[in-house]
Amino acid sequence: MTDRTDALKTLHTSLIDSRNGYDEAVKQAAGEGLTPLFQDMIALRTNAANELATHLLSLGEKADADGSFMSTVHRTVIDLRSYITGLDANVLPALISGEERIVGYYDAALEASAPADPEYAVLIDQRDALKVKIRDMEVMHARAAA
């Protein structure tokens, strides 16, 4: 496996893990609080993971649709937060931090790829869309704190 393939697989797995965490958040939120944000993030993650899976397959790699052990960790953290503090604006700083970590995975995948590689433009588009969602979360947090 190459650095490029490793970086793409790591990014793909982190997207799946994150999506699984947001799936759990939707269940726990039961239509309350940040449910629309969680649903948006599920859609963003699903689309991004599907696009990356196509690129991984073209490189002869299998894309893991289930994620890693971190999926379990994300679901557990969401369950605990839901039980202790609820899933409202107080979880936004943790979500923002997690999203910024995923931006780092995008950056690593872009570093390992060349502009001529088929996935390069997709990675930039996905990273830029994620940065917009992070800014949206930051605005939501600032409004809730005001």
Q: What is the structure's pLDDT at 84?
A: 42
Specify the pTM: 0.88
On whether the CB atoms of residues 109 and 133 are closer than 8 A, the answer is no
CA 29, CA 44: separation in Å to the nearest integer?
A: 19
Give the pLDDT of residue 114: 95
CATH number at residue 82: 1.20.1260.10
Dig out the tokens for 4 from the structure.
């490029």
pLDDT digits (tens, 9 = 90+) for 114-136: 999 999 999 999 999 999 999 99
Tell me the C-alpha distance between 142 and 134, whole Å: 12
Range of the domain at 130: 3-145
Per-residue pLDDT of the chain (146 residues; tens, 9 = 90+): 579 999 999 999 999 999 998 988 888 887 778 999 999 999 999 999 999 999 999 999 888 776 654 545 444 555 445 444 556 788 899 899 999 999 999 999 999 999 999 999 999 999 999 999 999 999 999 998 88
Number of domains, the chain: 1
The predicted pLDDT at position 27 comes to 85
DSSP letter at 1 equals -
End-to-end CA distance of the chain: 49
